[in-house]
Structure 1
Amino acid sequence: MQNTRLNNLVGAIILRFGQWLSNPWRRWSVMIISFLLGIFIGTAISTSAGQRAELDIYVAALIVLAVELVSRLFYRRRVGVESFWIEALNIFKIGLTYSLFIEAFKLGS
């Protein structure tokens, strides 16, 4: 790629964000936010799909597909290779799954 101002700016932003995330407390805060966002999205999906009974099967299939893709991406990586974004996506998946279990317990099914 050419060394343009935009490339320099994006590179500097990514570098500074990576330095910002090197602090363990900030990494934990992003992971907790990811988990809570997964819980929120899981609740929103279950209530939205529950409004129309026709969409339940399709939404469930989509969620299972997304969860399996994230699991494959997370658990198939090489040992020792740490990717912050893949880890945050896995935490989001855990929050989503947790939320769907809570919603199922609320409905008594």
Structure 2
Amino acid sequence: MNTVKRPVNNHKAYHAHVYFDESTLALAKQICQQAGDIHKVKVGRFHEKLVGPHPKWSCQIAFTANVFDTLIPWLEANRQGLSIFVHGLTGDDLKDHTEYAYWLGEAEELNLAMFR
């Protein structure tokens, strides 16, 4: 049985990718905007197509270890069923998306071919 790895504050910087689809786009925008406003984190573009290794539409939130311990519980409490992929930023893309990969909600299978 696979268990979902919960986020751990072990790195200097992170990305959180909020996954959504057409029916949850407005919710994802609300969550990301609130995260940016409340936690002063950088919110990226809303990709309404597959980008990078992500198997769903997504929006990236960039943040540091300094806000990890407040942002991650906030995202968990406010994600309203959306899956959020969290990973460390170490400079090693493959490790960042595998060994240093964590989930809030359902884990999704990433397309890692680009990193191999």
Q: TM-score with structure 1 length normalisation?
A: 0.23
**Structure number having the greater helix percentage:** 1
**Structure number having the greater strand percentage:** 2
Q: TM-score with structure 2 length normalisation?
A: 0.22
Higher normalized contact order (CA 8 Å, seq sep 6+, divided by chain length): 1
